[in-house]
Structure formats: C-alpha cells, structure tokens
Chain A
Amino acid sequence: MLASSPPAPASVTDVAEGLRAVGYLPGESTALVAFLAAKLGKPVLVEGPAGVGKTELAKSLARYLDRELVRLQCYEGLDEAKALYEWNYRKQLLRIQAEADGAGWSEVQDDIFGEEFLLARPLMTAIASEQPVVLLIDEIDKTDQEFEAMLLEVLSDFQISIPELGRVESRTHPVVLLTSNNSRELTEALKRRCLYLWLDYPELEHELEIVRLHAPDLPEAVARKLVEVIGMVRELDLKKPPSIAESIDWARALLLLGVDDIDEQTFRDTMSVIVKHRTDMDLVAERVGLKLSSPAVDAA
C-alpha cells in the first residue's frame, strides 16, 4: 500500500492555511483543488496566463507537504531519454572493458542492465523515490503529442515500463502538477486523467494581500494604489499584461526607492518594471499616466 505523507491535510481550510504559512496565498478554488489532489492522488492540470503563480503553487505545495519537488521542464523535442531514464553508456562500456577477459556474455549482459547503470530522469526519480514527492511537469503544452501519450502511463498508474528491467512501480504516491499556458489544445486522454484548475489574475483585495505578504514594509496606501494601477494596466490591450510576479517586483522596486505615493512621475520612472514591450510602454504611459495625473483616480 502507499505510504501516506507526513502532514496529511484533513480539510480544505488546512490546505489553505498550510499554503499561507509557506508564503502562498491561494484562492478558494486553488486550495480546494490542491486538497483534492493530495486526497485522491489525481494529477492536476493548472492553466492560466503567464506569471499568476502556477509554478509557485507547486513549489509551495512541496514546502507545505514537506516533500521534495521534482521538476520536469518541458520543451519542444523533449524525449523519453530526458524525461524518464537513460542507460549510462559510458559506464556500461567501462564495465564491459573491465570484465573483458574471462567473463561470459550472459553475465556481463545481466550486469550492465542493472539499476546501477540507469540514469534516472525526473519522471523516474519521482516514481522511484522512497519518500513521497511533488512532481511538477512544467509547460506541458510545449511538448508534442507523442510525449503527452507517453505521460499517460505515468499519470494514471504511476509506473514506468523498462524493457530490460521490467516495470518500476511507484512506492509512494506523488502529487503531480502539470502546468500549461494553453498554447495548444492538450489531448482529451490527458485531460481526462487530471483535475482542472484555472488560475487567473487575482481580485484586487487578494492581490493586495499577496503584495503585502511579499513586500511587508510597503505602506498600505501605496500598496493599494499599486494594485489598482496594475488592475488598470491589465484592462488595456497589451501584448504582455503585468502578472503577479511583476506586481511584486514593482512593490519591491518602490520600496527600494522609498516612494510614499505613486504619482505620474514615479510611475513613468518605474513603469519598465511592469511593462515589457516597447509598444505597450507607449500605450500605458499615455493612458495610465494621464489618469494618475488627474485627480479623478484619487477620488475613486
């Protein structure tokens, strides 16, 4: 039977508080899905715009559950050898040469296909680990469909078949998170095996809390205004709207500068922290800069 993890979460509130304690403020659905994932042992497919804390969720979950985080970063052309396992050819060769005289073929063959010569890659590591882990498969949409199909065995049965060794079954049950930026439609087969979580930009109050958590020394009024401005910027039609990560960066930048109010000048000076495109800069400077200089915003 599978060993249970040290702090088994008993309820959704447990998870929410636990994540909070390690510095991640989950939304309601986030905490719920994380709880269900830990409880049911189903993988979670997390989708959402870049920079809303998809990867961070996995890291925090690992910290909260006190498990090791195994991360598989996906990219175009990722294959089994990089994701599952690989035979250590050099070591195998050395072994054959060292034993060249006297040893029979069958002995050497048995020998060189042992676990000693296996290079475990992230998926293998996660499955074979003695302690339960959190497995993060990052940006799954960057790989091709063939790779996705290969993942299915791992995700539904938590096992890997190696022709020379047989099946490696998981000793513990990892919590699996897959993240996707939705740049291509994932296959139905993969989606069917996962719980689905959509992470979006947080609501104003929620984001304010996050900013306050990461930049506690920033005055309350400035933090609030910062979040409001970020909200305004997101409303514009930008190539890359600022994410939570950028809000935090900006808060820290303002803190370093010792700013006590975001006026038009400060905004123009520090805008490059949150806006990362030349054309976006112009648009934001024009729209938001103007709003900041007019008193209407202060009243609202």
Chain B
Amino acid sequence: MPPEGLPARLLELGEELRREGVAVGTSELLDAFAVLREVQWTEQVDFREALAATLAKSQEDRRVFELVFDRFFFRAVEVAALREGVREGDPSQPTPGAIDLEELSPEDLQALRAQIAAALRDSSEGAMRDLARMAIAAFGRREEGSGVIGVDVQRIRRALGLRTEPQPDLPADDPRREGLPRDALRRFEALLRRELERGQIERTGSLPPSRPLGELDRALPSGPLADLAAVHRVVTQLRRRLATQGTQARGHRRHAHVDVRRTMRASLQSGGVPVVLKYRPRRPRRPEIYVLCDVSTSVTSASVFFLSVLHALHDSFRKMRSFVFIERVSEVTDIFAHERNFKAVSERISSDAGVADISGYTDYGRVWSEMLELVGEDLHPRATVIVLGDARTNGRDPRADLFAQVAARAGRTFWLNPEPRLYWNYGDSVIAAYEQYCTAFECWTTAQLEDFVRALTRPVTSAL
C-alpha cells in the first residue's frame, strides 16, 4: 500500500516529472510545499498554477508539466475510485433526469453535432467536457468499440464531422463551415480520450500501465506547411540564441598567443620592460557550408524545414550552398536567396529544381559521384558538409567509398538523420556505412536540431 496523503502524491508527481526529463530538484519540491501552504488545494486552478510556478521553469517544461499533471491526477483519482469501489452509472441507482440514449432520434443527434461544433468554435472548456461524454454515449457504441482508444476517438470525431479545414458544402449557419480551431479540436480529442479511458478502467476494474509521454508530443513540426508560425518561432528563437552565443564563447580565454609586436610597443611605457603582455585576438572563423538535402517523399518535410532553418541562419556563415537530391543532385542556393516564403520555396523545389526523377527513389551512390564532380574542387579543410537524409538506399549500392572522398576533402562532415536512432540500420537504411566517415545526429525534435546548430556554429578553431 503506498503512503497516503497529499505530500506523498506530490513527491510522486515530482518523480514522474523527473522521468519525463523535467529537472525537479529537492529545492523545487520544498518550494512547492511552501507554496501550497499559501493556496487552497481545493481551488483547482490556483493549485495547478502554484505547482507549475515552482516545478516547471521554462515553457517546454511547462508543457510537459501540463500533460503530466493531467495524467497523474487522473490516474490518482481513478486509483482511489477503484479502491473505494465508487462506480458511475450504477444500474441500481439510476440518476434522475438522465437521457435515455437509445431513444435519441436522428434530429437529436444532428442537434448534438451542432452543439459540439459550437462549443469547439467558442473553445469553451466546460461545454466541451460535458459534450464529450454525450458524444461517447451517442456515437461511441460502447459494445462495438474497437478496444483501441485512439481508433475510437478518431471514429467519433469523424462521426461528428469535426474538421479544421473549411467545409463549404455545409449550410451557412453551421459552425463547422469555416473550419474549427485546431487547438479546440485537439483539446476535445483529449477529453474524449480521457472519458474513454475512464470507461475502460471502470469496466476492467484495473489501471492500464502508465506510459511515458509520447515523443511525438515533442517532435519537429512534421507538416511544414501545416504549422508555419510554429516553425518560424523555432527559427527566430534559434537565431537569437546564436546571436548571443558569440559573447559567451569570447568570455572564455582558452588560448593565449602573445602578440610580440604589440607587447614590445606597450613595453615602451615601462622603459622596455614587458610588464603588460598583449595577446593576439582570436578571430572566430565563419564556416563555409555545403548542405545536401534528400527531398524524396520519405523525408521532404524535415528537409525543407531544415533548409529554411539554415537559410534563416545565413548571417552566421560565410558562404553557403544548398543542394537537393533524390536520384540526382541539383543546386538550389538561388531559390533560397530569392524566396523567403516557405511555401513558395518548397513548391519551387518540387517543380523546377530538376530533381523530378523517373523512379523517385533515392540513389545515394549516384549522388556522391555527382557531388564530387560539382564541388569536389571547391571543398577544402575549412568547409563543412551537411547531409540530411534517412540513408535509405532502396537496395542500391551505397558507394561509401565516394562519400569517404567527399568527407576527406571537407573539414567537417555531419549527417542529420530525421529518423529516430532506433530505426537506423533497419531495412534498407545503411547509415552505419556512412557514419564511420562523419558525425551522425538524429534530428527529429527541435531540441535536437538546436543542439546540432550549436555544434555547427561553434567556431572552427583548428589551426589550419
């Protein structure tokens, strides 16, 4: 039997946050307890905000906190309910005034649809919560449920006709006509999921094992056109962080080359005794960058996003050339130089970048040989080559020897793989063959991308 009471629950919450990667130290927990002396735990919003203010110290942490908080207390409540044997909808005690859902006519269902759509449009939390239960009762068909909650949620959503895109064939007064706000829809789905889970727990009388938060919650914005603003927020943030980075690097004096000439000149003040040593200033070198991007369908969204990030960071690099490839390579530096608009860029790349190939399958071997021809002469030890691709050769020869030549001519070679490391070298992925010549990063969350950009912009200090 776990220890009872709020303090124990709070410590468990802290544990759970730590498991999700939020840095919750003892001092944070002490703060949380101190704070809870000041607010009533019966005030849900205050309670939650007070905990958030002490436990989650950044916006990302805050998002994780919200998810964990919801899940944690939902489970805590369900555990208590199971232990106490509290059941909803006990057949022996019919709730007065409950609607008999068997009797609902098609008109009633239609009215319910409209009501739900209106609640979503207005994003009213309370109404959505109530309506989620109704929706499950009316459209969930408990007996026919697939048993997989995610599937049921999507089925109910379809039955209700809820979509984010406009549906012009609906009547003018229907709230769904203009398309529903994405956030509200997501929230409603979460409520549906919650209710379905509650029902499942009640039926089976046990809690399903707790799963860690899906990495999907933190993944890169996958459809670049779907969430442009989000992408740009990430990029501006990155750019500002990089802009302030220079100072930090300058703060550390790691090297000390004495500038003899200036030291001698300064020594004249002290009668020729070199009292003050003058050092040669360190000049950070901006790297030259060659980017190679796979734009075959399997990785398009990631690569266009990535290219746009790099171009947004253009100022940090001395020279940058971008290439895209599927079967063959073609240079797209100009497109990015002229077009700032994301959508236009991806359209132009797909239409006239000259990569429209016959098969549409990536041919890495051919790419390397063409690459050597194109820029082989220009590559030099201060150049950085970045490849973005999933290293899936579709069974063709990877020609790692050619890639080794490219890597040998360039100073640094990075490989960004938009697939989680788990999938590397499975199927036709041959990343291992290339990894011995370059540094490979997995890059499918913004945090990973940021790590990479930081590695990239670190001044090249090699004495070449």
Contacts and interface: CB of A to CB of B under 8 A. Distances in A.
Given A279-B340, A300-B178, A194 B57 contact: yes
B229 A235 contact: yes
Contacts, number: 87
Contacts of B46: 12, 28, 32
A195 B49 contact: no
Contact of B34 (A40, A47, A146, A239): A40
Interface stretch (B239-247, B296-304, B423-431): B239-247
A197 interface: yes
Contacts of B342: 237
Interface in A172-224: 181-185, 188, 191-198
B248 A144 contact: yes
Nearest to A39: B38
Contacts of A296: 178
B28 A192 contact: yes
B381 interface: no
A260 B381 CA distance: 66
Interface in B21-76: 23, 25, 27-28, 31, 34-35, 38-39, 45-46, 49-50, 52-54, 56-59, 62
B259 to A, nearest CB: 23
A146 B251 contact: yes
Contact of B52 (A42, A76, A196): A196
B213 interface: no
Interface string B1-28: 0000000000000000000000101011
A62 interface: no
Nearest to B450: A185
Interface residues of B, number: 37
A145 to B, nearest CB: 6
Interface string B121-154: 0000000000000000000000000000000000
A170 B101 CA distance: 67
A42 B244 CA distance: 28
A145 B252 CA distance: 11
A185 B245 CA distance: 11
Given A36-B53, A39-B38, A183-B244, A28 B45 contact: yes
A248 interface: no
Contacts of B277: none
A252 to B, nearest CB: 28
Contact of A196 (B53, B232, B251, B340): B53
B237 interface: yes
Mostly, the B contact residues are helix
A45 B62 CA distance: 14
B38 A196 contact: no
A133 interface: no
A88 interface: no
B228 interface: yes
Which bracket fits the contact residues of A?
Answer: 35 or more
A167 B438 CA distance: 54
A174 B240 CA distance: 31
Interface string B244-272: 11011001000000000000000000000
Contact of A192 (B27, B35, B53): B27
Interface in A19-76: 28-29, 32-33, 35-36, 39-40, 42, 45, 47, 76
Contacts of B58: 47, 185, 191, 196
Contacts of B57: 45, 191-192, 194, 196
A168 interface: no
A182 B53 contact: no
B49 A183 contact: no
The residue among B28, B52, B178 with the most chain A CB atoms within 10 A of its own CB is B52
Contacts of B228: 237
Given A184-B244, A184-B245, A197-B53, 20 more contacts: A28-B49, A32-B53, A33-B53, A36-B38, A36-B39, A45-B57, A141-B244, A144-B247, A182-B237, A183-B237, A183-B244, A191-B57, A192-B57, A194-B57, A195-B53, A195-B54, A196-B53, A196-B56, A237-B228, A300-B178
27 contacts: A12-B39, A12-B46, A28-B49, A29-B53, A32-B39, A32-B50, A32-B53, A33-B49, A35-B38, A36-B50, A39-B38, A42-B31, A141-B244, A142-B244, A146-B251, A181-B240, A183-B243, A184-B241, A184-B244, A184-B245, A191-B57, A192-B27, A194-B57, A195-B31, A196-B56, A196-B57, A197-B53
